[in-house]
Chain A
Amino acid sequence: MNMAGEIRVRTDPKYRELYNGIKSFGMGDMHELFFLCVCLGYKAREKKRLTSKDERFWSRTVTPDEYACYYAMVLERNDMDLSKIQDDTAVISEMEEYANAGIEILLRECLSDYLAKTTNEVRLDPTSSEMLPRALLHFVFEQIQ
């Protein structure tokens, strides 16, 4: 497996602050939030094209297990066609679309109470984000029940 590390993983620019905030308060690193969003988007079978793109993190931070999950998703959607997982740029690009749909699910169903109300940008309210890890873990746990 290639698991290429030199790809810049992109997200919609409007989520820049949200990614930064969640890195500080909710989860360990950006690739983890991205992975959560991909899984949410994939589970709901929802993809959303990125109309504008902002480079968020390097694919070298993606863990082998996360990469393996990305390959599994592509294989499942492509009738186990192994040639579809040869090009990591294409795999990551597809995952960006799942993540773009997944982050909307996350915002709608989990993060609404933790967002700053005073700004147009999507960003976390640091004063209410202390318990965010619990909210996120609980949300994931609810989805699998």
Chain B
Amino acid sequence: MILKKLILKNFRQFKGTQEIEFAFESDSNGRNVTVIFGQNGRGKTGIFRAIMFCLYGEHLLSQDEGVAQKELHLINQVALDESASDTEAIEASVEVKLRHNGGNYSVKRTLLGVKDGAVEPGILRLSHTDADGNTHNYEDPEKIKELVNQILDKNIREYFLFDGEKIERLTRASVEQRKEISKGIRNLLNVDALEKAVGATQRLKKKLSQELAKKATGNFGKVVHQIVEMDEKISQLKTSCQSLEEEYVLAGAEKKQVDIQMEAYTEIRSLLRERRDKENELQSQQDQAKALLLDMKSRIGKSSQLLISDTVEHVFKQIDAKKQKGEIPSEIRQDLIEKLLSDHLCICRRELIPDTEPFKQIILWRDKLSKADLDNFALDLWRYLSGIRSHNEDIAGIAETLLVKYGSRTSTIESLRSRIEKLNSEIGTSERKDAAELETQRARIEEKMIRIEARRRNEQGELAALESEMMQLAERRKSLEKEEQAKSELSERATLAEGAVQLLQTVYEEFSSEIKVKIAHEANLFFEQLLDREGRETLKEIVVNSDYSLQVLDRWGKPFLADISAGQRQIMSISLIAALAKVASVSEVMEIPLFMDTPFSRLSWDHRRNLINVLPRSCAQWILLVTDTEFSQQEASLLKQSGRWGEFYELQSKGAGFSTIIKRDIPYTQLNLRESLEAHA
């Protein structure tokens, strides 16, 4: 997807019709960077908001947490105030023109509002002109939603259209958020298609097994019946787990709704704010504790070797002593002896005749070779034990660090829980009866969420047990099929379908892990290029976990995420985004825009310089919404030198609640930007 044009009408600060044309890679001059420059309050985030509103119909952004939708005015207030009467409707609209997979799209969404604040959705239209020039128009919101999600999945939109100050949240995403992100990434990388193929083959396998169960007899028949029953139980449990997950999300949304209603009670507003902050912090601490548990899970196996470190040391030293004394390795080379015997030629090039003395001598050497094999064996073992010994200290160190960090997280979690409990009781005993009632309702929802989570965990445990039992039954079925010669065309088809499911599952797993390895590799390449020198010295690599959450390892290979700076977190997140876009793009250059709102504010000059040097070369489009404090003469000059800067807009204030978008020439940036702004003002 490439953004071509944005047309705004009476949207947020932008009164009347105003537009921005974005630079992108296939422009004749190869310039692909657009800078939208404005001081705080001029409407930079309004532009970001406009794109989100137009494509996804969203009124609120993730940064609007705690703001009720009705409190946010999308229709320009000045236009509303100027309307002739209280009942005259003012139209606000956003139109996004974009290019995707060789086709051109135009999405337009409007809102109608009147002076008293009432707002209604207006038209929604998507027009698509394909590569052959045929145009298709859509007005069905569901169809438009589907098409937009195919262009850029809603679950991962914030990967590519993001707020720089919040982007580092990617490294702190909650478990629920990660699930959504993971789903969106799978969609982006087309892993979803493979998942669907696995599902379809599974259904075929089930159908054939059911048919087979009707016809099979004897012990074989019994096992086939058991398999069908167990298959049914497994799919029921899977459905149940899924609906429990959905129920949990719904309960969460219900709780959020109650929280919004409670915000109306000013008496308890500060308590509510504190509770929301504490709950967010609790969630983040719980997520970090869970990540630590996952890390521990992957390290117990390796840590077990610490239990026999004395044995490793002892055996290593014994072999090492033999090695020092020259007792191993034996100097006799097996390949040489085999060659002498097969060529019937001695080392001195004389013929080797069986039963002669030289021949017997070589046979004696060959017999000695069994000892040489053992020597080689001992040498290999020496190498492995040497590696194990050298890692023992690190393994113990990492285990200790993980345990200490986990301990500290759990104690923070405990104190947060006790503070939240106290806040709950203070809010619950509020003098406002209706507020207290809402609080009781909220407590009930929370209890429900705890119950759902416990049930889900139970069912997942049951599911894991059933799946392993199923594998045993499948093995048993195979051996009975041979014993009872129960082979038939149907059973062969059922076996084939089962084989196909396993094969597809393996392909899926290999593909997913290959993709993850590729993403991690690309992310690390970007990370290395984007980090400043200090970061490069401290941090070794990014690890992309199975759920696409991130970890970073320090130079000793220890997890270091909790200790890195906000700027480094931002660089980590940008590296992952760039890697995702690159892996998802067919060409070398990522065909996905990077749309960044205030990207530089937390970054050091070195980080800014690296971003400006690296990103325009790696992506088809880079759109920057910047303030005067983060985009100075230094950044502007560097960007100009890159030769990639294609479009430049300035947001200027025309009074309260009214900004205009002014297209500027690039050379303008050679002047001091701040001084220029003042001159214009």
Taking a contact as CB atoms under 8 Å apart, the answer to whether A144 and B374 are in contact is no
Q: State whether the Cβ of A40 lies closer than 8 Å to any Cβ in chain B.
A: yes
A128 → chain B closest CB, angstroms: 10
| Minimum CB distance partner of B382 in chain A | A68
Number of B interface residues, CB 8 Å? 47
Taking a contact as CB atoms under 8 Å apart, the answer to whether A140 and B457 are in contact is no
Q: State whether the Cβ of A143 lies closer than 8 Å to any Cβ in chain B.
A: yes
Taking a contact as CB atoms under 8 Å apart, the answer to whether B297 and A76 are in contact is no
Residues of B within 8 A of A130 (CB): 293, 457
Q: How far is the CA of A124 from the CA of B315 in the complex (A)?
A: 36
B393 → chain A closest CB, angstroms: 12
B477 → chain A closest CB, angstroms: 16
| Minimum CB distance partner of A2 in chain B | B377
Residues of B within 8 A of A4 (CB): none
Taking a contact as CB atoms under 8 Å apart, the answer to whether B377 and A1 are in contact is yes
Taking a contact as CB atoms under 8 Å apart, the answer to whether B301 and A29 are in contact is yes
Q: How far is the CA of A82 from the CA of B462 in the complex (A)?
A: 45
Taking a contact as CB atoms under 8 Å apart, the answer to whether B460 and A126 are in contact is yes
Q: How far is the CA of A73 from the CA of B316 in the complex (A)?
A: 11
Residues of B within 8 A of A20 (CB): 464-465, 468
| Minimum CB distance partner of A20 in chain B | B468
Q: State whether the Cβ of B461 lies closer than 8 Å to any Cβ in chain A.
A: yes
Stretch of B48-56, B137-145, B306-314, B623-631 on the interface side: B306-314
A9 → chain B closest CB, angstroms: 14
Q: State whether the Cβ of A92 lies closer than 8 Å to any Cβ in chain B.
A: no
Residues of B within 8 A of A33 (CB): 301
* One of B299, B315, B388, B402 near A76 (C-beta < 8 A): B315
| Majority-rule SS of A interface residues | helix
* One of B300, B306, B315 near A27 (C-beta < 8 A): B300
* One of B312, B314, B399, B457 near A141 (C-beta < 8 A): B399
Q: State whether the Cβ of A107 lies closer than 8 Å to any Cβ in chain B.
A: no
| Minimum CB distance partner of B469 in chain A | A20
* One of A73, A129, A141 near B308 (C-beta < 8 A): A73
Number of A interface residues, CB 8 Å? 54
Residues of A within 8 A of B378 (CB): 82
Please judge, given known A-B contacts A28-B298, A73-B311, A126-B458, whether A137 and B464 are in contact too, CB under 8 Å: no
Taking a contact as CB atoms under 8 Å apart, the answer to whether A24 and B464 are in contact is yes
Specify which of A26, A86, A134 lies most central, judged by the most chain B CB atoms within 10 Å of its CB: A134
Q: How far is the CA of A83 from the CA of B370 in the complex (A)?
A: 10
Taking a contact as CB atoms under 8 Å apart, the answer to whether B461 and A124 are in contact is yes
Taking a contact as CB atoms under 8 Å apart, the answer to whether A140 and B384 are in contact is no
Please judge, given known A-B contacts A65-B388, A68-B385, A144-B396, whether A133 and B297 are in contact too, CB under 8 Å: yes
Residues of A within 8 A of B380 (CB): 1
Q: State whether the Cβ of A50 lies closer than 8 Å to any Cβ in chain B.
A: no
Taking a contact as CB atoms under 8 Å apart, the answer to whether A32 and B307 are in contact is no
| Minimum CB distance partner of A85 in chain B | B377
Please judge, given known A-B contacts A1-B377, A72-B312, A144-B396, whether A39 and B301 are in contact too, CB under 8 Å: no
Taking a contact as CB atoms under 8 Å apart, the answer to whether B293 and A24 are in contact is no
Contact with B along A21-36 (1 / 0, CB 8 A): 1011111110111011
Query: Which residues from chain B sit less than 8 Å from chain A, CB to CB?
Result: 293-294, 296-309, 311-312, 314-316, 318-319, 374, 377-378, 380-381, 384-385, 387-388, 396, 399-400, 402-403, 406, 454, 457-458, 460-462, 464-465, 468
A-B contact pairs, 19 of them (CB 8 A): A1-B380, A21-B464, A23-B464, A28-B301, A31-B301, A32-B301, A39-B305, A42-B308, A65-B305, A66-B301, A66-B305, A69-B312, A72-B312, A126-B461, A127-B458, A134-B296, A134-B406, A137-B300, A141-B303
> What 4 pairs between A and B have smallest CB-CB spacing?
A126-B461, A32-B301, A68-B384, A39-B307
Instruction: List 17 additional contacts besides A80-B318, A127-B461, A144-B396; criterion CB under 8 Å.
Output: A21-B461, A21-B465, A27-B301, A32-B301, A35-B305, A36-B304, A39-B305, A39-B308, A40-B307, A65-B388, A68-B384, A82-B377, A85-B377, A126-B457, A126-B462, A137-B303, A140-B306
